[in-house]
Amino acid sequence: MNGPFEFALALGDDALVAAQRLGEWATRAPEMEEDIALANIALDQLGAARLLLSYAGELEGAGRDEDALAFLRDDREFRNCLLVELPNGDFAMSMVKLLLLSAYQVPLYTALAGCADERLAAIGAKARKESAYHLDHSALWVKRLGDGTDESHRRAQAAVDQLWPYHHELFTADPAAPVDPATLRADFDAVVSPVLAEATLTRPATGWTPGGGRDGVHTEHLSFLLAEMQVLHRAHPGAQW
């Protein structure tokens, strides 16, 4: 990440891939109410992705609109963090993933709302409120799962252990970006640590810190996700309904 184009693209890809993963929960959530909540959150992420990718396309100036960026790039051209492309796993895994993502997005969008770029500031101001809701929702569930039954605690801790290595990538320093992600670490910790403590979950020690998503080097999961997401647009370019 460096200039506004790369920055808008990376944030847009985070939101787009997160929306696609959350959409996989539709009709499969543990409860009907939760099904609707997850669909709501997926649509919020998709809305932010559309704004960010549209703006990225304008900044690029190569005639690529939001659809071209979403549906006609392959995995090496995506700039999302690895965290969002990981499979949903069980409900605990998805809730911990959403907690880590939204605890990063809230301070990010908040800082963006005050940045010099007017378009990015407007997008940040809109997306911040939605992300605050996502954070609230995932925090509620992580607390209940972690401090629930033996089985829900075991699953929640397994999710934290498995996902924790991936959150380091979110805070890779980038002084040239409109908002330097390294400056968001304190806000993230201030939110996530109390939630994990209340959920009786142990915060893993820093060990393996996978990265590469911002440079287009992804896990095996992204190309499968894109194949499913892009098949219709690639088969019927420009299809409308």
Partner 1 sequence: MSAPSEPPRVPVTSPLWEVFVRARRGLSHTHVGSLHAPDAELALHNARDLYTRRQEGVSIWVVPAGAIIASSPDEKDSFFDPAADKVYRHPTFYEVPDGVDHL
User: Residue 202 corresponds to which amino acid?
Assistant: T
What is the CB neighbour count within 10 angstroms for residue 160?
23
Q: Does 153 bind partner 1 (CB under 8 A)?
A: no
Q: Which residue has the tokens 């506004």?
A: 4
Cβ burial of 116 (10 Å; 0-12, 13-18, 19+) is exposed
Within 61-199, where are the H helices? 66-71, 82-85, 91-113, 118-146, 150-167, 185-198
- Interatomic CA distance for residues 113 and 145, integer angstroms: 33
Q: How far is the CB of 14 from partner 1 (least distance, A)?
A: 22
Q: Which is nearer to partner 1, 5 or 133 (CB)?
A: 133
Q: Does 137 bind partner 1 (CB under 8 A)?
A: yes
Contacting partner 1 within 40-59 (CB under 8 A): 40
Q: Which is nearer to partner 1, 129 or 236 (CB)?
A: 129
- Interatomic CA distance for residues 13 and 197, integer angstroms: 31
Show the tokens assigned to 86.
């990981």
Q: Which is nearer to partner 1, 50 or 137 (CB)?
A: 137
User: Which listed residue (22, 37, 46, 86) binds partner 1 by CB under 8 A?
Assistant: 37
- Interatomic CA distance for residues 224 and 221, integer angstroms: 6
Q: How far is the CB of 184 from partner 1 (least distance, A)?
A: 25
Q: Does 218 bind partner 1 (CB under 8 A)?
A: no
Q: Which is nearer to partner 1, 11 or 139 (CB)?
A: 139
User: Which listed residue (33, 118, 150, 220) binds partner 1 by CB under 8 A?
Assistant: 33
CB distance 116 to 178 below 8 Å: yes
Show the tokens assigned to 106.
């809230």
**How many residues of this chain bind partner 1 (CB under 8 A)?**
12
What is the CB neighbour count within 10 angstroms for residue 74?
12
Q: Does 144 bind partner 1 (CB under 8 A)?
A: yes
DSSP 177: S
Q: Does 136 bind partner 1 (CB under 8 A)?
A: yes
User: Which listed residue (2, 26, 36, 190) binds partner 1 by CB under 8 A?
Assistant: 36
Q: How far is the CB of 110 from partner 1 (least distance, A)?
A: 19
Q: Does 32 bind partner 1 (CB under 8 A)?
A: yes
Q: Which residues bind partner 1 (CB under 8 A)?
A: 31-34, 36-37, 40, 133, 136-137, 140, 144
